[in-house]
Chain A
Amino acid sequence: MIAFVTYKMILVLVIFTITLAIAAYSTYAERKVAAFLQDRVGPDRAGPFGIFQPLADGLKFIYKEEIIPNVSNKLLFVFGPCIAMLTALMAGVVVPWGDTVFIGGKEYSLQITDLNIGILYVFGVVSIGVYGIMIGGWSSNNKFSLLGAIRASAQMISYEIAMGLAIIALVLMTGTLSLREITMQQAGGLGGDWNFWNVVYQPLGFLIFIVCAFAECNRTPFDLPECETELVGGYHTEYSSMKLGFYLFAEYINMFISSAVISTLYFGGFNFPFMNNLGLDHNMISIIGTIVLFAKIVFFIFFFMWIRWTIPRFRYDQLMNLGWKIMIPLAIFNIALCALISLYINR
C-alpha cells in the first residue's frame, strides 16, 4: 500500500512538474514561433537565445503590484484563477504518458489512473473549466470582463457539443472509453504488426475534434473572449500580477493537455512505427514511446501557434454559425457514417 501510494505520488509530482515546465516554455515558444513566422528575432536577452525568458516573466508576475478592484466580489475574484488552474491541471490524470516499465521485477504504469470512462472524465473536466473564466469575468464587475466571460462560456458550450459528437464516433469504432485501451489498439503501426493510427479511420472526426480543441482553449482563430480590439483584455481585464499569470498559464496548460489528448486519441499516443521490430526490451520501448508522445505533443503545440499566426480571428456570428450550423451537423454525419461502416465491415 505504502509503495503504491509513493509511486503514484512521485508520478503525480513528475507529471505536474513537466506540465508546468512545458506550459512555461510554451510562452517562450509562442514568442519565438511568432518571431520566426514574422521574420523577427524574438526574445533573446535573458540567457542564450533567451531561454531564461519564462523565468524572467514569472518573476515579473510575482513582483508586480496586485490590484483587486474595490467594486469586485473579492472572494470570487480570487477563486476565478484558482478554478481555471485547477481544472487545467486535472485533465492530465487519465492521459497515458507511456507504457509500463519494469523496475526490480515489478510493473509500473506510466499513467496516474486508468479510468474506464477516461474520455468522459476529460470531457467533464473541460466542461467545468468554463467556470474559472465565468466567475473571474463576473466578479470583476466590469462590462468588458462580463462580455468576455459570456462570450467564452457561449463559445465553449457550443463547441463542446461538436467535440463530444466527434468523440462518440471514435468510441463507436474503438468500443472503449479508456484512453489506455484506445492507445493499445493503435499499437504497432508500420512494421511487423501492420496497423493504422485512428486518424486514418477517423479523418473527419479528427478535423472536428481539433477545431473544437482550438475553440475550447480560446486560441486564435477562436480567441473572441479576449479579443483586444473589442474587449480590452476580455475576462481578465481587471486581473493583475500572478492572478493574470494563472489565467494565461491555464490557457497554455489546456493547450498542452489537448495536444496530449489529440495525440492519444488520433495519433497513437506512445506508439511509434516499427516499435516491435527494433528488438529492444520492454523498458527501452516504453521510454522511447514516452519521448515520442512528447514529440507529438510538442508538434501539436507548435501547430496551435502556427495557426495563431496564420489565420485571423473570426467574427462572433461567424463563430456561432461555424459551431452550430457546420460542426454539429458534420459531427452527426460522421457518427452515422461510422455506425454504418462498423456495422457492415465489422472491423
Chain B
Amino acid sequence: MTLYLFYFLSFVAIFSALLVVFSKNPVYSVLYLIITFFAIAGHYVLLNAQFLAAVHVIVYAGAIMVLFLYVIMLLNLNQESEPHKSNLIKIAAVVCGGLLMTVLIGTLRGASQVVHQPGKDIGLVKNLGKILFTEFLFPFEVSSILLLAAMVGVVMIGKGEDNSVNR
C-alpha cells in the first residue's frame, strides 16, 4: 500500500514538475508547481513527518505560490506580449541547467542510501522541536537571523530611494 502510494506520488511529482517547465502559459506552470508541492507533502506524510508536510503546504502552496500567481496574473503574460528571448540567453540557460544537473548527479551518486529509522519519528512536532532547540540550536538561530536580514532588506528596497514621497 505504502509502496504504491510512493510510486503514485513520485509519478505525480515528476510529471507535474516537467509540466511546470514545458507548459506555455505561466499561470499553468504555477498551478503545476503547486501540484508538485502537494505531491512532495504527500511524501512527507509517508515518512511520518506530518508537521513538515503541513508546514510545507502552508508555506509553499499557501503563501509563496499565491504571491507567484498574484504577480503572474498582474503581468498578464500571453503569447503575443511575451518578450522575445535571444538565442544567446537560451544557450546560456541550457549550459547552466546542464552544469547544475551534473553537480546534483555527482553529489547524489556518492551518497549512501539514507536509512529510515522507524522508531524515531523525527517529523512529529515534539521531536522536531526538541532537536531544533538542543542539537541544532545554533543553525536554527542563524537561519532566523538570515530571514530577518532578508525581511529588512525587502522593506528597505520596497520603500525606494525617495523618502519625501512616503508619508
Contacts and interface: CB of A to CB of B under 8 A. Distances in A.
A153 B74 contact: no
A116 B54 CA distance: 11
Contacts of A177: 125
A54 to B, nearest CB: 32
Most buried by A among B55, B124, B125: B125
B2 to A, nearest CB: 16
Interface in B60-76: 61-63, 66-67, 69-70, 73-74
Interface in A125-139: 126-128, 130-131, 134-135, 138
A160 B55 CA distance: 14
Interface size of A as a range = 20 to 34
Contacts of A150: 70, 73-74
Chain B interface size, under 10 / 10 to 19 / 20 to 34 / 35 or more: 20 to 34
A153 to B, nearest CB: 6
B50 interface: yes
Interface centre among B54, B61, B125 (most CB of A within 10 A): B54
A153 B31 CA distance: 15
Contacts of B62: 124, 126-128, 130, 160
For the residues of B in contact with A, the DSSP-based class is helix
A110 interface: no
Interface of A, secondary structure class, is: helix
Contact of B73 (A115, A117, A127, A149): A149
A116 B125 contact: yes
A115 B57 CA distance: 15
B54 A121 contact: yes
Contacts, number: 60
Contacts of A149: 73
B73 A157 contact: no
Nearest to A120: B54
B166 to A, nearest CB: 14
A127 B60 CA distance: 10
B58 A127 contact: yes
Contacts of A130: 62, 66
Contacts of B70: 134, 150, 153-154
Nearest to A79: B31
A115 B50 contact: yes
Contacts of B40: none
Interface in A77-98: none
Nearest to B123: A117
Interface of A: 76, 115-117, 120-121, 123-124, 126-128, 130-131, 134-135, 138, 146, 149-150, 153-154, 157, 160, 177
Given A127-B61, A128-B61, 12 more contacts: A76-B31, A117-B125, A120-B51, A120-B55, A124-B61, A127-B58, A128-B62, A130-B66, A131-B34, A134-B73, A150-B70, A177-B125
Which 3 A-B pairs have CB atoms at the shortest separation, nearest pair first? A127-B62, A120-B54, A124-B57
6 contacts: A116-B125, A121-B54, A127-B62, A157-B63, A157-B67, A160-B62
